[in-house]
Amino acid sequence: MRRTALYSRSTSSRASPQGDAIAESTPVDPPQAAQAPSRRQRMVRALNHPRTLWLAIGVLGVLLALSFSTSLRNGPSQLTQDDINAAVMHTLTTRVLPSPAASAAATVAPSVVRVEGFVAGKKGKPDMEQGVGSGVVIIEDGTILTNLHVVQGAETLKVTFADGFESPATVINVQPENDLAVLRAQKIPDDLFPATMRSTSDLQPGDQVVAVGFPFSIGPSVSAGVVSGLGRGFRSPQGGQLMRNLIQFDAAANPGNSGGPLVTMDGQVVGIVTAILNPTSARTFIGIGFAVPIENAATAAGQPPF
């Protein structure tokens, strides 16, 4: 049975403050209520997190060592809370654990794809690459979110999955007002892992985020930073359509990152990277990037979440 898109409710009910927008922001339609993950599901996710696993291994090792040492000296004894606290502190100070950004990137990595567009070459010559961008799988049937400008003008498309599997792809829907395109891969790997999408309702400036994609065709590459603003507006220097209600972030993004996921520290997608702000003609990152909130992006795929 085909599994539908995966959604996760936000972890708190704090409101998102509205920053100074470049233009008036249009709020996203109020999200629809969805069943919150059960306590058991939350526990399973927490226990499956790589950081939790490494911490548990370290603590277990220290506890076993303490228990063995104590039993040799005094015979069998019961561990106290102080013993457990000491073991945790010992592990935190002596073991190098994966960073939150590394764990977030590892969680979403199986869902990130490389998107290439081609145009027909001159007679007798192979097709020419028109551009490279990024995308993220949101449904295990090969449904992928990316930017419209990544695929616009291309005559054929190819996606490369995280395991190297390649497939032709077609555009099945577009949302020009948010620079979004929905692709469907014609073939998919045996084990395809769609990303989990998370509501932006509790996102606020200062929250840590990770951007994953193929900047300058190099990747998958990972950059980390924070949300630096909400409710932003942006119009490209070429005079494109004004985009509203964007997430502003400072994780490095460059040409080729477009269409890739913006991810919170739990590895869940809150936005689709769509633009960078640079008042020069260099088209390189100077500290401000923008992402379309996942509520808009999922709606483009016919999967309105939350």
Alpha carbon distance 249, 260 (integer Å): 14
Active site includes 29? no
Distance CA 134, CA 153 (A): 16
Of the candidates 231, 265, 268, the residue with the CA atom closest to the CA atom of residue 248: 231
- Residue 249 has, within 13 A of its CA and on its CB side, a CA count of 32
Closest by CA position to 200, among listed 145, 157, 262: 262
Alpha-carbon gap, residue 143 to 139, rounded angstroms? 5
Amino acid occupying residue 81: Q
Residue 258 annotated in active site: yes
Query: Facing residues of 168 across strands?
Result: 158
User: Which residue in 25, 49, 149, 167 is the catalytic one?
Assistant: 149
Alpha-carbon span 16 to 23, nearest angstrom: 18
* φ, ψ at 37 (rounded to 5°): -60, 145
Please identify which of the residues 8, 111, 228, 258 carries the catalytic annotation. Answer: 258
Q: Which of 245, 113, 264 is nearest to 183 (CA)?
A: 113
Q: Pick the catalytic residue: 103, 179, 223, 228? A: 179
Rounded Cα distance between 275 and 250, Å, is 12
The question of whether 90 is a catalytic residue gets the answer: no
Active site amino acids: 149, 179, 258
